[in-house]
Structure formats: structure tokens, C-alpha cells
Amino acid sequence: MLGGAVFVLTLVLVVVRPRGVSEAWFAAAGGLAMVLLGLVTPGGAVAALVANVPLFGFFLGLMLIAALADEAGFFAWVAQLAVERAGGSPRRLLVNVFVVGALITAFLTNDATALVLTPVVHILVARLRLPAAPFVFACTFVADAASFLLPVSNPVNLIVLGGSGSALGPFLRFLLLPSLLVLAWNLGFFLIFFRRSLGGTLDPSLLPAIGADPRYLRAVSVALGAIALGYVAATTSGVSVPVVSLAGAALLAFLASAFGRLRPRRLARGVSWSLFPFVGGMVLVVQGVERLGLGPLVAGWVFELSSGSTLAGVVAVVMGVALGANLINNVPMALVAASALANLPAGAANAAALGHAAVLGADLGPNVSVVGSLATMLWLLMLRRRGLAISSLDYLRFGILVTPPALLLGALALWLAI
């Protein structure tokens, strides 16, 4: 009972964030409480954190890559290219933002799209005198909808599936079709929903020239292409994905130094350091609550559903994980899902499909509410700081129209792929 109370209290504080205190401190306090109460042994806590060092390395490498690419003007250049290719059409510009967001998400994760591309897009549409809502909403929705294109598209993928999550073949087999269908659904919905805001023409001449060093920008673009190929190679050859992430960050840092653009303090500010105590604390909280039998309980429920009907099992996992992500955030929900998957009976039929169903729910589900993922919460705060007020209720109203049908469509496509 004590472990359950710590679990619930930690989740409530993480979501509510009283007095604006970072959710990382509540997660870390919850993990520490599990150790002090004896629900997790000190040795077990150290072992759990050490086991997740590769995941932390993946997080660090990705955030450094995104920060260095942003410093080089890569995201501003890509966004301006999307404007030029729009041919004066706001509708085509929205399509281009979706395409750019999907590509950035696929290789640089959903956080890069939601947190780095969003301010660039917001500035561009303001200068083009276009309504901001369709374009900034597109940044966060495509970030989640495209985050199961590749294993590296969302760190949550590796949390749910563990080491096997970086294998490209099984991942594409189960999730490529659902991802493409979900992206098409989101784009179609946006074009219809915002059709009145996307009329008229845009004038690219309103945009100032990009102030980036062309040679540095070209070098960074080539390096990012190499990093993307490195990710794909790693997922097909068994090389550790965090190694590619950290090596890519080192390559971009070397280029920044060579061009005299390396600013360590500014680079450090581009890293969300609070993510590490948040994930580490939640790892210990979930490990502590596992002593209550939560993992086997959920695993038994999933196994019972899937043994009767594979489709019912897939839909239940997708919708259940999505609901949990919107209630308690997708990182702790992913940890709970990973625990449940680990407790499935040995040789359980369709265990791999159920694991990928959990990925779909944890990646796409957070699009319903602003508390579903850390990236969405930061996206909302960032826009508010720039004077664009989007209420949590407005986000919920929009998200509940777009996301539940997308989840069902993705679940059906996943079932067809089995």
C-alpha cells in the first residue's frame, strides 16, 4: 500500500507541478522515497540506473545534436526552404511543415520537432502574416504522429521495447504502415479543419535572408545526413544506437569548433538536464510499485485479451497506454508498459505485436492533452512565452477530435501487419 501511495502521489505532483516546480524534482523525490522506504534496495536502485545509462546517453546525444544544428541555422534554413517550395500557397506550406516535421522527427526525435522547429515556424508565419495556429499545432502533432517511423524517432520507443527496440526490421514490419496512415490522417484533418485559415497567398519576400554561415550550414547538413545513415545502419547491424547519438554530437561539436561557432555555455543551455532526474526517478518509482504486482497484473489482463482476439488485444493495449499517457505522462506509462511486457508468459503469442502496440499508444496517445508528454508541455510553455496563448482546454478539444480516430486507425493497421 505504501508503494502505491508513493506512486500515485508522485504522478499527481508530476502532472500538477504545484508552484511551477519542475516535474523532475517530484520524480526524483518519488524514486528516493522508494529507496528510503525499503521498497527498492540501494543496490537495486543503482543497478536499475546503470541499466538505463545507454538510454541517458541517447537522450544526451540527441539534445546536443538538436542544439548544435539549431545554432548552425539548420532548422531556420529548412523552414525557409519549406516556404520557398510552397509556391505562394498557405495550404502547401502546411503540407511542407508536416513533411519537414516528419523527417526531423524520424531522425532527430519528436523533441527536436516540437521544441526546436516550433519557434522557427512561429517566427516565419508571423512574418508572412499567416494565422499561427495551423502551423504551430502541426509542429507538435506531427512530432508525435511521426515518432514511430523509426526506433530512434522517440526515446520512449527504446523504453517500451528495451534493447530489442532498436531492431529496424521488426519495427518497420509492425509500425511503418500505421505511422504512414496516421500521418496521412493528421494531415488530411488539418487541411480540412483549418481550410478557412489557409486561403489566399503568401509572400516569401517578407522573410529576411538567413544569417547563417553558408559553409558551416552545408557542413552541418552533411553531418546530419551522415548521422541519419548511422542510425539506420545501427538498427540493422546491432550497433548501440546511443553510440551513434553521442558520436553524432561529437562530430557536430567538432565542426562547430572548426568554424569558431562552439559556445559551450550556450550549448549547455540547449540541453534539458532535468530530463535525466525525471526519467531516473520514474524508473525507481515504477520499480518500487512493481513489488505490488502491477506488472504481472497488467500483463495478465493483456494476455487474457489477446488470447481471445488479437485485434482486441492490440486495440486494448493501444488505447490503454494512450489513456495512461494522458493521465500520468507517457514516460512513466512507457515504464509501466515495459514492466507489463516483461511479465507476459514465455512464448506468449503476438508478444512482439503487443509491444509495438504499446509503442503506438505511448507515442501517439499524448496528442490528446498537454500533459501527455514532456515535449508537449514544453511546447505549450514556449509558445506562451512568445505571446501565443493556447489553453489546455483548447488543446484538449482539438486533440480529442484528431487523436482517438488516429489511434484506432493505427491499431487496425498494426493488426493487419501481424
Within a domain: 215: yes
Report d(CA 397, CA 388) in Å as an integer.
17
- Residue 404 burial (C-beta neighbours within 10 Å; 0-12, 13-18, 19+): middle
Dist CA 207 CA 413 (whole Å): 41
Give the list of residues 6+ apart from residue 241 with CB closer than 8 angstroms, or none.
54, 58, 151, 152, 158, 166, 231, 234, 235
Contacts of 258 (CB under 8 A, 6+ apart): none
pLDDT at 303 over 80: no
Q: Does residue 300 have a pLDDT over 70?
A: no
Q: Is residue 253 part of a domain?
A: yes
Q: In total, how many domains does the chain have? A: 1
Span 176-199, mean pLDDT? Answer: 95
293: left (phi over 0), alpha (psi -120 to 50) or beta: left
Reported confidence tier of residue 365, pLDDT bands at 50, 70, 90: very high
Neighbours of 36 (CB within 10 A): 11
Q: Contact 177/417 with Cβ under 8 angstroms?
A: yes
Measure Cα distances from 268 to 68, 109, 283 in Å. 10, 19, 25
pLDDT at 309 over 90: no
Residue 137: what pLDDT?
Answer: 94
pLDDT band at 385 (very low <50, low <70, confident <90, very high): low
Tell me, yes or no, whether 364 lies in a domain: yes
Share of the chain above pLDDT 70, in %: 92
Q: Using CA atoms of 211, 216, 218, 223 in order, give the dihedral in degrees to the nearest 10.
A: -130
pLDDT for 166: 60
pLDDT at 410 over 70: yes
pLDDT of residue 200: 85
Question: Do residues 157 and 148 touch, judged by C-beta distance below 8 A?
Answer: yes
In this prediction, residues 263-289 reach a mean pLDDT of 84
* 102 has a pLDDT exceeding 60: yes
Average pLDDT over residues 75-87: 88
203 lies in a domain? no
Full residue range of the structural domain in which residue 327 is found: 2-198+208-417
pTM: 0.84
Indicate whether 20 pLDDT > 80.
no
